[in-house]
Amino acid sequence: MASAQHDTAELSARLSEHMNGYLYTASLYTVTRANVADKLAEGPLTPMQLGESTGLNGPHLRRLMRYLATREVFREDAEGRFHLTPMAELLREGVPGSLRDSFLMMGEDLYWKPIAKLHETVRSGHTAFDDIFGAQFFPYLQSQPELASLFNRGAAGFSRLWAQSVADTYPFPVGSKVVDVGGGTGGLLRAVLAANPTVTGVLYDQESVIPEHQLDTPELEGRWSAQAGDFFQTVPQGADYYLLKSVLHDWSDEDCLRILKAVRSGMRKGSKLLVVDPVIPPGNEPDASKTIDVMMMVVHDGKERTQGEFTDILAKGGFKVARVLPTDSLMSIVEAEVA
C-alpha cells in the first residue's frame, strides 16, 4: 500500500508539472522580450542589475530566472548572479541558431489565444482562430504588417534549424532549376543554392513576403529570382524541382489539394515535387512532429502527416511518392512525381 501511495504521489507531482507547462512558455517569452540573454552576453549579472537595464522588477525577475534555471535556461551562482547557458545563448539576437524571433512570435496573441481555445477546436473539429480574429491565419497577417514581419522572422528562425540538413541530403542534379513554393524569406532556397553551385532557383511567395528575402548574397548572385503570386492559383512554370517546405502542414487536406493542383499544373514532364515536412513516426515515443501537429490543428486547421497520409494526399493530388528521405533534422523529404 505504501509503495502504491508513493507511486501515486510521484505521478501526481509529474502531472502537476505538466499542468503548469504554459508558465514555461510565458517565462521564456518574458525574458526574450526583455533581451535578458543579450544583457548577460558580457558576463553574469544580479537580478537587480538586470532589472535596471531591462525595466523589469528585480525580485520578480530573480524568481522567474530561478524557475528557468531548473530547465537549463540560465544558471544562478552562489553569489546570486545569473549566467548564460548554451540554451540561453540561443535567445540572443543574431547568434548562430538564434530562436529569439521564434520565441517572440510564439508569445503573441496570434498563438496564445487559439491555444486557450484548444478544447473548442477539439470539440468542433476546426480551429477557433477564425472566430477570435475574424479571419484565417494568413489573411489576418496580411492586415497586420508588423505582426506579419515578426512571423516571417520567427518562421525563418525555425527554418534555419533544418535548412542545411535538407540541402545536404537531397542530390540536386547539375544545372537544375528549383522553385521554392511558399518559400517565405528564402532560407531553404539559400541553403540549396549555396550547397549546389550550378543550381538556379526562384523564390515564390506572397508579394508582402518577398521584400524580406535572405537571398541577396555575393555567392548566390545571378542564380536566383523572386516572384510573387498565390500558390492556390498558379506557380512558376517548367522548373525541374518544386519545393513545398512547411507548406502542406499549414493546411487542411482540401486546401492541400488546391495547392498540389496548382503545382502540378506548373510542372513539365520529368519535374519532381519535394515536400519538406516532418513525417510522424508510429508508436508512443516523444517526437517533435506530434507536438507541432497539435499546434497546426490549433492555429491553422493544418496537420503533420504520417508516411501513409502523405502517400494518400499526394495520390489524390495526382502524384505518386517515389521515396522518402530522412534528414538529420526533424524534417524528411518526400519526393513525388506526377502520376
Q: What residues have CB less than 8 Å from 265, skipping those under 6 apart?
A: 234, 235
CB 249 within 8 Å of CB 302: yes
Q: Is 249 a catalytic residue?
A: yes
> What single DSSP character describes residue 318?
T
- The C-alpha cell at 283 is 508508436
Residue with cell 487536406: 253
Q: What residues have CB less than 8 Å from 313, skipping those under 6 apart?
A: 248, 253, 256, 257, 260, 305
Residue of 60, 119, 126, 249 with catalytic role: 249
Q: Calculate the CA 273 to chain-centre distance.
A: 21
CA-angle at 160, arms to 163 and 326, nearest 5°: 35
> What single DSSP character describes residue 241?
E
- The C-alpha cell at 178 is 528549383
Which are the catalytic amino acids? 249
